[in-house]
Amino acid sequence: MLKKRQIVLLILILGMVVLTYTAMAQEENTGGDTQSSVSSIWDKVKWPIIAAVSMFIFQGVLYIIGLFKKDRLLKTLLNKYVIFHMKDGRRYQGTMRLDTRGAEIVSEESRQRGQAPSYIFSKDQLQNGIGSYIRYLDTMNDREKQERKWELDRLKNPPLSHRMVRKIRNMFIELNAAAKNAISMVWGGIKQAASPLQTQLNRMSAASQEYGGQEITLDNQLKGFDEESKEFLKEESYERIIERLVGTRVKIRIAGVKHADGEYMALFKDYNGKHMTFMNVKDKDNNGYRDHWSYDHEYKHNINNFNRRDDRGLRCRMVEDKEGRYFLVLENNTAYSIQVGKITLHDGSPTWERNLEFKWHIEPLSVRRIRLNPVAQHNVGPFQRVRTLEAKTPRNYKKIRLDFRSFRDADVIFPRSVCTIIESAEKHQEELFSISALTDAILDRSESEEIAIQDAGGRPIHGMNLVHGYVTNVNEERLDLKSVDSSYSRRWEVESAYTHFDNSLRHRVPVHRKMIPYFANRLVTQNALVEQIRENPLQKEAFSQLAYPKLTKRQLRIPLMKLLPSKNGLRLPLKVMALTGNGANEEFRVLERFEYVYEHHMLYESVENLRNERLAKMDILWIGAGEIYKGGYRLNIDAEHRIKNFVSQGGVVIVSGQDVKTNSRQRRGAGWIPEPLTGVEYDETDELLPTAQGRRSRIFHTPNMLNTTPDTKEIPLVKLDDMWVDPLGKWNSLAKSTEQDASALLTLPFQKGLYIVTSLKNDTERDVEINNKLMENLLHFSVKWIGNQKWKQRFLPR
C-alpha cells in the first residue's frame, strides 16, 4: 500500500494539475509566453503523477493477489476455538484470526487470568514455530459439532460431485509447472513491450525519489509480480501417493514437537503444500490425542502460597488437616479425565519423589486428594550401607514439581515439516443393517438369557423378564417368536405409514392440491383426524395453521384459531430454566405464576446446577439471587462455558442479583460473561433511576407501570442490593443507582443471544413479592426480544 507521504503527494499533484488547466481555460486569449509557461509546468509535474499512479497500481495488484493467498486448510479455523501447540511445548488457546501476514489468537480466558488478551504470530512464526493446530471436540459448540459430523460423513462417503470437483482441482494443480511457465511468459512479454519506455521509467524513478518515494525499476517490479504469482501456486499440492489415502485411517509420526512426539492413528482429511489435516487423532491404544504438561511451583516452605490454576482448568493446592497430615488437592474443572504422573518435592535435602505412573485419574468436574508423606533416608556413620528413615513434611521443601497427562478426541492440522504418514489402512466401508439377520437372531433359541426387570427402587419385579429382547411375563417355552415377529412387522408398517403421512403434511402443499376440491377435502379430513387424536392443544394449533389451505377454510367455514401477526408467527411454548436453591429459594414459586407471556405458554424448570444437557433446549435461563456470588464464587468452568454457549446460540440469561462482601478474599469469576463487569457492595435500597435508554426500552412500563412517585424522576418501587460497575463501557445501562455511578439493570447482546443483569434482592418472600412486577417485566422484555430476533432471521435479508 502507498505510504502517507505518497498519498499526500498524489493529492497535491492532482490539485496542481486542476488549477493549471483552470487557469488555462480562464486565460484562453493570453499570448504565447503564457502557453509556453504552462507547458513547462506540465512537463515538470507529469512524471511525478505517472510515478504515483504506477506505484498505486503496482501495490493494488499485489494487495489483490494477497487477498487470495490465505492457506486453504488454515481458513477452516477462522473464528474457531483453536489451540496453537508450539514446537517448544508452549500453548496458546483462543479464537483464531488469520491474515496473509500472520495470525492472531484472541483469548478471553487469558484476559480473565490477567494475561494478554490476544497473541499475534508473524508469518515466520507460523511457518517455523507452530507444531500443530488443535481443535478438541469437547470445546466445540452444538453448531460446530453438527458441521463436523457433516464433514465426517462427506469424508467417509464422498458424493459424486465432491469427487469430481476434487479430481478437477487436482488436474489444475498437476499443471502447476505449465501455469508457472505461462506466468513467466506473460511478465516477460510485458517487460519486452515496456523496454522502449525504459528512458521514461528512469525519469519516473528519479521523480519518485525526488519527492521522497521509492525507486521504480521495471525489472524489480516485474520480478516481484512473478514471484508473488508463483508463490500463490505453491500453496496447493497434488501427490498421487497420499491422494488415495484421503478418507482412510492412517498411521502418522510426529517429530520435533515437544510433548507431542510419537505415533498416532488418524483419519486423513486433506493436505496442501504446507499442512496436513486429520480427524479423530488417537494414539496407538485408541486413547485420543495426548496432552502432556508439567510445571514447577515455588511455595517457599509456606503451603498456603501453593494455589495454582493452569490454563487447562486444573487447580492444585496443598492443605493440612487437623491430624497434621498433608494432602495435595487436585480440582478438575474440565470435561475430561486428567492423569497424574510424578510428584516431586525438591529444594530441600533430600529430594522426595512419588511416581504414580499416570495411573491416578482425576475424573471430570471432581476433586481428588493425594497424601504427601515424604520420607528421607540418612546414612548411619561410620557404616555405608546402614540407613535410617526420617519423616518430613512439605514445609521442609521450597518447590513442588507436578506432571500431568490427558487424552482427548481432537482434529489436528500439522505442518508437513513435523508430520509424516508411515502406514495406510483400507478405506472406510459402511456396513448396511440386515433385516434377515435380526429375524434370525430372534428365532435363534441356542442362546437365552433372562434379565430381571427392576422397579424404581431397584427391586426385581417377579414374573417379568427380558427374553430375546422382549419384556414379557410369558415363559420362554410358551413364547411364539414368529407371531411376535409378525406383530412387530405390522407395527413397523404402521409407524412407516404415519411417518410418511406426517412428512407429507409438514412440507408445503402444492398449488394443485389447494385448488382442486378433491385433494383439498382429503387434506381437511386427514387433519381433522389428527386433531381428534392429539391431546395437546398447542400442537393442534400449530398443526392446523400449517395444514389447512386458505381456500378450503373459506369454503367449509371451519372455525379455526386466528393466526397471529406475521411478524411474530405462531405462539409456541417457551422454556425457562431457573438456577436457584443454592442461595435463596423464593423466586421460582413467583416465576411459575407467569404462565403466559405475550400469549406464549411458559414452561418452567428449577435446577440447582447446570450439569445437564437440557439447557441447550431452553429459551431463557433465570439465574437466581446469590447464584453467581454469595460468600464466594459459585460457578465452575463447565457452568461458565455452558452459559456462554447458551447465549451465543440465541438464549437469554437473566441474572437476578448477587451478594458481595468487601472483605471477602474469594475470587470473583467472570467467565460466564464475555465483557468484564464488577460487583460492588451497596446498601439496601428501594430506589433507582431509569436511564433514557431504559425508558425507551419500555422495560419499566410493560406490562406493569412501575412509576411510584409524582416527581419528574421515574423511580420504581423495588428491592435492590449490591450494584454493578461496567469498567469498559461495553454494557447498556437501563437503570442506575441514585447515589453512586453504579448500575442496577444492564443488558449486553452477545452473538445471537442477550444478557440481562440486575441487582434485585430476592432473599426473602417479602422481597420477591415486592420485585414480582419487575420480574414479570423482565420476562416480557426477554420474550419480545426473542420474537424480534426470530422474525429478523426469518424475514430480513442476510
User: What ranges in 658-724 are assigned the alpha helix state H?
Assistant: 692-696
Per-residue pLDDT reduced to its tens digit, 2-21: 344 445 445 545 555 544 44
Say if residue 684's pLDDT is above 50.
yes
Contact assessment for residue 315 and residue 333, using Cβ atoms and an 8 Å cutoff: yes
Rounded to 5°, the CA angle 436-441-442 comes to 100
Please report, as a single letter, which amino acid is at residue 672: W
pLDDT of the residue at 591: 92
Cis preceding linkage at 350, omega within 30? yes
Residues in the chain: 798
Rounded to 5°, the CA angle 531-534-537 comes to 80
Say if residue 540's pLDDT is above 60.
no
- Measure CA 391 to chain center: 50
Confidence of residue 758 (pLDDT cuts 50, 70, 90): very high
Cα–Cα dist 428/250, whole Å: 11
Contact assessment for residue 329 and residue 318, using Cβ atoms and an 8 Å cutoff: yes
Q: Is 450 exposed, middle or buried (0-12, 13-18, 19+ CB in 10 A)?
A: exposed
Give the pLDDT mean for 64-70: 64
Beta pairing class for 652-655 and 600-607: unpaired
Contact assessment for residue 58 and residue 66, using Cβ atoms and an 8 Å cutoff: no
Cα–Cα dist 287/109, whole Å: 27
Long-range CB pairs of 272-275 (<8 Å, 24+ gap) are 272/71, 272/72, 272/73, 272/235, 272/236, 272/237, 273/234, 273/235, 273/236, 273/237, 273/416, 274/71, 274/127, 274/235, 274/415, 274/416, 275/71, 275/73, 275/74, 275/413, 275/414, 275/415, 275/416
CB atoms within 10 A of CB 786: 20
Say if residue 364's pLDDT is above 50.
yes
Give the pLDDT mean for 301-323: 88
Per-residue pLDDT reduced to its tens digit, 77-102: 888 999 999 998 889 988 888 877 78
Cα–Cα dist 795/158, whole Å: 34
pLDDT of the residue at 57: 72
Confidence of residue 514 (pLDDT cuts 50, 70, 90): low
Contact assessment for residue 326 and residue 373, using Cβ atoms and an 8 Å cutoff: yes
pLDDT of the residue at 527: 66
* pTM for the full predicted model: 0.48
Q: For the chain, give the mean pLDDT.
A: 76
Per-residue pLDDT reduced to its tens digit, 635-668: 888 888 889 989 988 999 999 988 887 554 444 5
Confidence of residue 177 (pLDDT cuts 50, 70, 90): low
pLDDT of the residue at 3: 44
294 strand-pairing partners: 403
